[in-house]
Amino acid sequence: MSFFKSLGMTRRSFVFTAPALSAVPTVVYAQPDQWQTVVGPDLRFRLEMPAPVNKTAAAEKETGHAGGRVAWASKRADEMFDFDYVDYEPGWFSSKDSKEMARELGRGEAEKAFPRATFKYVLDEPVILQGWDGYALDIADQQGALVMMRTYIVKDRLYRLLVTAKNDEETKAAAARFLNSLRFAETKS
């Protein structure tokens, strides 16, 4: 007696049952080197971060903010991966030069925290992602370890990414994967 007949299944019933079983959701446990996709609650963005990812939301609002900051954080090999966004009041950015705002918000306190006399500014320039203005700031210490930051303005929302990487190819590749994974639902033409 075959295995299927012992289960009371004919070949035809197995063929129709197997696809249905594959539609049942399964629980996946992340391994330390696995990545997960983070999708915004409003579906306006997605990106990849090392698993597990912790989400937080701040209730306090700063000047011009329409809501609190929403953030995701994870670690991989003691390196930090941080992503956050905050919505600003309608017209907050549209009434200003978004390239200049991206630069100002992208550099912000970094110049004070990382003085040029001690740290090397590896990348310090405007960037564009899907037509939206942004700013890239990568800073290295004397051993070559990096702090890499990206800031993007999409309509009245500010997105920020921050990642650290040691001076080795594995952590630099993970940092690049994180930074390059961000995608917006809308493209600016």
**pTM of the predicted protein model:** 0.79
Per the structure, the complete domain to which residue 55 belongs is given by 31-184
Indicate whether 7 belongs to any domain.
no
13-37 burial: b if 16+ Cβ within 10 Å, else e: eeeeeeeeeeeeeeeeeeeeeebbe
Total tally of structural domains belonging to the chain:
1
pLDDT tens digits along 15-67: 444 444 334 333 334 444 699 999 999 999 999 999 999 999 988 777 777 88
- Residue 107: which CATH number? 3.40.1000.10
User: In sequence order, what DSSP letters do the residues of 121-159 get, joined into one string?
Assistant: EEEEEEEEETTEEEEEEEEE-TT--EEEEEEEEETTEEE
